[in-house]
Amino acid sequence: MPIITVRHLYKDFQLFKHHRGLLGAFRNLFTREFRAVNAVNDVSFSIERGELVGYLGPNGAGKSTTLKMLTGILVPTRGEVCVNGRVPWKERAAHARDIGVVFGQRTNLWWDLPVIESFDLLHYIYRVPDQRYYRNLLRFQDLLGLGEFLHTPVRSLSLGQRMRADLAAALLHDPKLVFLDEPTIGLDVVAKERIRQFIQSINRERGATVILTTHDLGDVEKLCERVMMIDRGRLLFDGPLSTLRERFGGERELVVDLADDYDDVTVDGATVVAREGRRVTYRFGADGLTASDLIARTSGRFRIGDLSVREPEIEATVRRIYEERLLD
């Protein structure tokens, strides 16, 4: 049975329509006009236990709204949601005990307390057995490098340190399901890599199901085998990252190190885009000639020292999908 089942989920908001200028100010005082915004529109999906899923979309696409309904913060306008056998907004207390949540711009820690005291409070709030709490604390100190700032007040932490502390806080009670909303936003390369390794660890070693929303597609590329794409409230794609690359990745490159010198290095079906000595870079279409076909043609013509295939960057692929509306 899936840990999450979503069927025909909708969420509408009523936004106050503000009129500008002096006359508009009077109008705002005496009349109330609203416009409907459809943040999530007929979204359906299911997620199995142990999956690590990337949930992608531009700003305002509906990602965070979906997560807030799955965590029980928001109530849907209509539709069905079942998370770990519960309806989140109807059984909030029991649901909260089984999930971990990190929102990149909000902290779960107490601002003026040292990090370790926030952890101790969560120890009692979640009623985590002592043995499990101290075991997790030691493990997370090792994975996230918490030792350097455990006794520092949260308000004095850098963004990277706070995000690491927030991740540990969300997972001290061993949740079965983890929602991560922009967990690497604004972080440097070192902090991002540490957090990515941690997310991978809790998914693989502990079997936690993870849903990750992010604008940093490096997170998706390194962590997620499955991605869901949402835009203007509608789910546009749900499937393996490899399928997304194959369908929309555009052209790929084959880099070949030739064993001998050749005057003519052209190969049918591919374009030579660079040549440096014996190294030749070919570009070929993902929807035409396959990599194995091109390798066979190249090795049939030349003696090969080494070769490698470069896939299109996932960021370029996703940008192309949204800009060209390939999934509409």
228-275 residue pLDDT tens: 988 888 998 999 988 877 777 667 788 999 989 998 988 888 888 889
Contact between 169 and 201 under an 8 Å Cβ cutoff? The reply is no
**The one-letter amino acid at 75:** V
Please give the share of the chain, as a percent, with pLDDT higher than 70.
Answer: 89
Q: Give the E-state strand segments of the chain in sequence order.
A: 4-16, 34-47, 52-56, 78-83, 99-103, 177-181, 209-213, 226-231, 234-240, 251-258, 271-276, 279-285, 304-310
Rounded-to-integer distance, Cα 146 and Cα 158, Å:
12
| pLDDT attached to residue 19 | 67
Query: H or E segment at 243?
Result: helix 241-248
Per-residue pLDDT at 170? 92
CA 153/CA 259 separation, integer angstroms: 60
The residue to which tokens 């090792």 are assigned: 142
Give the per-residue pLDDT at 283: 83
Which is nearest to 284 in space by CA: 243, 244, 318, 256? Answer: 256
- CA distances in angstroms from 57 to 46, 54, 131, listed in the order given: 18, 10, 40
pLDDT digits (tens, 9 = 90+) for 165-196: 999 999 999 998 999 988 887 788 888 888 89
For residue 34, the model assigns a pLDDT of: 65
What is the structure's pLDDT at 25?
67
Partnered with residue 167 across adjacent β-strands are: none
* Closest-CA residue to 181 (of 236, 74, 101): 101
77-101 tens-digit pLDDT: 999 999 999 999 999 989 988 999 9
Residues 118 and 105: their CA atoms lie apart, in Å, by: 18
pLDDT at 20 over 90: no
Strands in 18-154 per DSSP E: 34-47, 52-56, 78-83, 99-103
> pLDDT band for position 287 (50/70/90)?
low
CATH T-level topology, domain 49-80+87-245: Rossmann fold (3.40.50)
Q: What is the average pLDDT across 124-152?
A: 91
Are the CB atoms for 40 and 68 separated by under 8 Å?
no
Q: What is the reported pTM?
A: 0.78
Q: pLDDT band for position 49 (50/70/90)?
A: very high
pLDDT at 161 over 80: yes
